Structures are given as structure tokens and as C-alpha cells.
């Protein structure tokens, strides 16, 4: 894979880069250099380095078809990276039901494009705001990626909510929050290793206490419910 000079980037060879990004995406290794809180600054990192080091303030605006097309290319790399964590949900989630019709931009989850999968025990999620309290054993997994203005694809984290048995944590409605990095590193999980790194998840989701701490999917991207 060749790298790009500053002047090439500045001139904005977006089209060529996008083609290159798409061609290489399937072969991209799991990235260790794109953490969840990736700084969306102007292009940073080494300008001479590989494309995946670049970080942009404004993620590219993709049409839904384009977002879906890129996701189809990137999803195998996402899965392989998360699965390196050894977590069951990281291995299994792409076989679960996907509740969004196309990747959607989530400003609350690092400005990544997001896909939302729920395992069979959480099937009532299909009723969205009418789902009620989901049972223990429910796991919701959101994978994520972003696309830079120059067409580079950055693999993002896997965001997980797992419903634990009653008594696990009153404050979270017994949800365990986890964040798995694109290289399979577990950044943290509530009630476990690195808990302090995922505590901020709790506060935000707590605002939806009346609907089992869930926000659901932006209406325009909801796959038909039950």
C-alpha cells in the first residue's frame, strides 16, 4: 500500500483515495491506531505514514447506499478485529438480527457510522420504544467505522450492552456496558476490568431509565419492527 504526500492530500485526491481505500479495505489489518476517542482533528499522525493514520475533524458525509456499500467491505475486518477479544458476542454478533437499514452516523458514539445488532433473547427490541424491559441474556452490539474526507476507512469500536441477572447493578438497570477496540482489546466493562473507562456510558443512558436505558435507532434507519 503506498502512502500519500502532504501536497497530494491537500489537493484532495478524494476520488482516487476512496477507490484505493475500498480496494484495500477487505485486507486491512485490525487497527491498533484508531482508538474510540480518536481525535477528529485536521489530518494528524505522520503525513508520510499509511492512510489509516489520518484523522479528520469532519467525517465524510456518505449517502445511505454508499455507507452500506462501504460497510459490506469493512464488516469482515471489523468482525475479525473484535473477535480477537475472545468475547462470545464479538464472535457472534454479525449473525444476529440487524435493526438498522443502513449505517447511521452517531454523534454520541465518536461520530462513527453505526450498525445495531441484537441477539435472539433480546428479540423484543424490535418493538423499539414499546419493548419494555429486556430480559437477562439480551446483548446489543453496535459495530462502527468512519470514513475520512479523503476516503480512508477507520475501523471503530464495538459498543456492547449486555443485560445481566437482577442485582448486577441497580444504577444501570442491570446492563453491563463494554467497549471493544477494533484490534480486540477490551477497553473496559462496567463491573469488570477498565470499568472507569466506560462509566460515562452509564450516565448518558440513564436519561432513558423509563425505557430500560435504551435510546433505539434514529427512526429513519429502523428496520421494520414486529
Contacts to ligand HEC by CB under 6 A:
106, 108-109, 114, 116, 140, 142, 159-161, 177-179, 198, 200-201, 204-205, 214-216
What are the cell numbers at 34? 484508531
Cβ closest to ligand HEC, residue 6 vs residue 200: 200
- Residue 142 CB, shortest distance to ligand HEC, in Å, is 5
- Residue 175 CB, shortest distance to ligand HEC, in Å, is 9
How far is the first Cα of the chain from the last one, in angstroms, to the nearest whole number? 46
- Residue 89 CB, shortest distance to ligand HEC, in Å, is 10
- Residue 76 CB, shortest distance to ligand HEC, in Å, is 21
Task: Report whether 25 contacts 36 (CB < 8 A).
Answer: no
Cβ closest to ligand HEC, residue 18 vs residue 160: 160
- Residue 12 CB, shortest distance to ligand HEC, in Å, is 29
Could you tell me which residues come within 8 angstroms of residue 182 by beta carbon, excluding any fewer than 6 positions away? 30, 31, 32, 34, 78, 81, 82, 155, 156, 157, 158
| CA–CA gap between residue 76 and residue 58 (Å, rounded) | 25
Cβ closest to ligand HEC, residue 52 vs residue 205: 205
Cβ closest to ligand HEC, residue 53 vs residue 79: 79
Could you tell me which residues come within 8 angstroms of residue 189 by beta carbon, excluding any fewer than 6 positions away? 176, 177, 178, 179, 195, 198
Cβ closest to ligand HEC, residue 69 vs residue 208: 208
Which among 112, 99, 111 has a CA at the least distance from the CA of 214? 99
Amino acid at each position: 500500500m503506498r502512502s500519500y504526500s502532504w501536497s497530494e492530500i491537500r489537493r484532495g485526491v478524494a476520488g482516487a483515495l476512496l477507490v484505493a481505500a475500498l480496494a484495500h479495505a477487505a485486507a486491512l489489518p485490525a487497527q491498533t491506531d484508531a482508538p474510540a476517542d480518536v481525535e477528529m482533528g485536521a489530518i494528524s499522525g505522520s503525513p508520510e505514514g499509511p492512510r489509516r493514520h489520518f484523522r479528520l475533524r469532519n467525517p465524510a458525509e456518505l449517502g445511505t447506499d454508499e455507507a452500506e456499500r462501504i460497510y459490506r467491505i469493512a464488516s469482515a475486518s471489523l468482525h475479525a478485529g473484535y473477535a480477537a477479544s475472545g468475547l462470545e458476542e464479538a464472535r457472534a454478533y454479525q449473525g444476529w438480527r440487524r435493526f438498522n437499514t443502513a449505517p447511521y452516523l452517531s454523534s454520541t458514539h465518536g461520530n462513527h457510522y453505526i450498525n445495531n445488532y441484537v441477539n435472539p433473547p433480546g428479540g423484543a427490541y424490535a418493538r423499539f420504544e414499546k419493548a419494555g424491559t429486556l430480559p437477562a441474556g439480551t446483548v446489543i452490539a453496535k459495530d462502527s467505522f468512519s470514513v475520512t474526507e479523503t476516503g480512508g476507512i477507520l475501523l471503530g469500536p464495538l459498543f456492547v450492552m449486555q443485560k445481566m441477572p437482577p442485582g448486577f447493578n441497580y444504577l444501570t438497570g442491570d446492563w453491563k456496558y463494554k467497549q471493544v477496540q477494533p484490534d480486540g482489546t477490551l477497553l473496559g466493562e462496567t463491573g469488570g476490568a477498565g470499568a472507569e473507562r466506560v462509566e460515562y456510558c452509564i450516565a448518558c443512558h440513564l436519561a432513558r431509565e423509563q425505557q430500560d436505558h435504551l435510546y433505539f435507532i434514529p427512526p429513519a434507519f429502523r428496520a421494520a419492527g414486529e
